[in-house]
Amino acid sequence: MTDETEIESETISTLPLDAWHRANGARMVPFAGYDMPIQYEGIIAEHEWTRSSAGLFDVSHMGQLTAKGEGVAEALEALMPGDFSALKPGRMRYSILLNEDGGALDDLMVTNAGGNFYLVVNGAVKWDDIAHLREHLPDHISLNHMADDALLALQGPKAVDALRKLGIVSTFEGAGGPEELSFMQAGPYAWGDVRLGISRSGYTGEDGFEISVAADHVEALAEALVNLDEVKPVGLGARDSLRLEAGLPLYAHDLTEQTDPVSAGLAFAISKARREQGGFPGADRILGNLTNGASTKRVGMKLEGRMAAREGAEIFANDTKVGTVTSGGFAPSVGGPIAMGYVEAAHAEIGTQLELAVRNKRIRCEVVAMPFVPTRYYRKPKGAA
């Protein structure tokens, strides 16, 4: 496979907005090889602001890639269980990069951008993903790492109002602004002379957008956004509590190379056509789990009391260990602690009573449906364009 730009495996330690974050009072912590803002005024306050207004997240640590060439959709289908050949321009799909046994190397977003496919991969494993794609995509497929682009996420019920105020317009003649997008749609836009790639998507369970912008222009865009009454900067801490309430897995915690999509509760990522045709790594294992059921399942748990369970806490049914917590914490919108984890399938039914081992104590919990807080993704009325 050829490269459009040189793809290096060196870790960059600072984000394009590093100085901006610090000037805005962010507390910085190392994450995925970068100094990242964990909070500005406080995790709970930022969480609640995002639920009620619009939070601006810097997610430039994520990997932005494009893949291009004849048969690129089919080439990507050989590595993931999505039906990308049927994906129309401007449409997105959540998918999973699989190892040969059907385990998850990463979860990612794939967009048909017209002349190419645009991929957003997790920052912690982006160099591994790039190496894997370079090794397994055909030689005539070119892979471009968009190393000079930043990525912002504007999330919350007033995100659409904020973007409308900036006067962002589509670069397609006759198309409207990003407010015309529905959930999991994307397109090319312009803010004055600045080119943007915008999708109606995110990682909080709220309506919102992800905005790809040249790093040279990201500070001006971030400043313009936070100058609006609707928008405040929000850090990684609230991003984690929001995604936990939305029941969304975090790679390397709730999803690993040992986890298949069915066990993880992500069977929706296996397109109907692919279930019939197979042809993706680990298809026999994954399709077998679809037919017969997986031996373990990712579940949501609501805990009694106020003590939170963290990753690694053991899950018990009476005196028998039946699973392990993979994510947990206090959920501001729920008003108490929640957790996700994997349990033996016999204990995964909604309403099952279990116990978690936390600080040498047993905490009662109940298996509950996810998301813990209803999602508010924007979808156009049926029949709308």
Q: Which two tokens stand for residue 330?
A: 């206090």
Asked if residue 382 has pLDDT above 90, the reply is no
> What's the CATH number where 327 sits?
2.40.30.110
Which whole number is the average pLDDT over 300-314? 97
How many domains does the chain fold into? 2
What is the Cα Rg of the chain in Å? 21
With cut-offs at 50, 70 and 90, classify the pLDDT of residue 176.
confident
pLDDT value of residue 383 = 65
With respect to residue 8, please indicate whether it lies within any of the assigned structural domains.
no
Region of poorest pLDDT, from 9-23, 98-112, 240-254:
9-23
- State which residues form the domain around 70: 18-245
Does residue 208 lie in a domain region? yes
C-alpha span between 376 and 321 (Å, rounded): 36
For residue 49, the domain's CATH number is 3.30.1360.120
Same domain membership, residue 165 and residue 36: yes
| Residue 129 forms part of a structural domain | yes
Instruction: Identify whether residues 114 and 211 lie together within a single domain.
Output: yes
Same domain, 42 and 120: yes
Are 36 and 149 in a shared domain?
A: yes
Contact 261, 52 (CB under 8 A): no
pLDDT above 90 for 6: no
% of the chain with per-residue pLDDT over 90: 93
pLDDT for 384 equals: 63
* 238 within a domain of the structure (yes/no): yes
Q: Which residues pair with 195 in a beta bridge?
A: 190
Q: Same domain, yes or no, for 194 and 340?
A: no
Residues 28, 107 share a domain: yes
Spatial distance between the Cα atoms of 72 and 302, rounded to a whole number of angstroms: 43
- Are the C-beta atoms of 318 and 350 separated by less than 8 Å? no
Looking at the structure, tell me whether residues 114 and 186 fall in a common domain.
yes
Whether residue 130 sits in one domain with residue 220: yes
142/228 same-domain check: yes
Q: What digits encode the pLDDT tens for the residues 272-295?
A: 999 999 999 999 999 999 999 999
- pLDDT tens per residue, range 107-166: 999 999 999 999 999 999 999 999 999 999 999 999 999 999 999 999 999 999 999 999
Whether 227 maps to a domain, the answer reads: yes
Per-residue pLDDT band for 9 (boundaries 50, 70, 90) equals very low
Q: pLDDT confidence of 333, banded at 50, 70, 90?
A: very high
Using pLDDT thresholds of 50, 70 and 90, give the confidence band for residue 8.
very low
pTM of the model: 0.95
Residue 63 counted as domain residue: yes
Q: What is the pLDDT of the chain when averaged over all its residues?
A: 95
Residue 235 and residue 310 in one domain: no
Verify that 63 and 208 share a domain, yes or no: yes
β-sheet bridge partners, residue 365: 303, 354
Residue 191 lies in a domain: yes
Q: Could you tell me if 227 and 101 lie in one domain?
A: yes
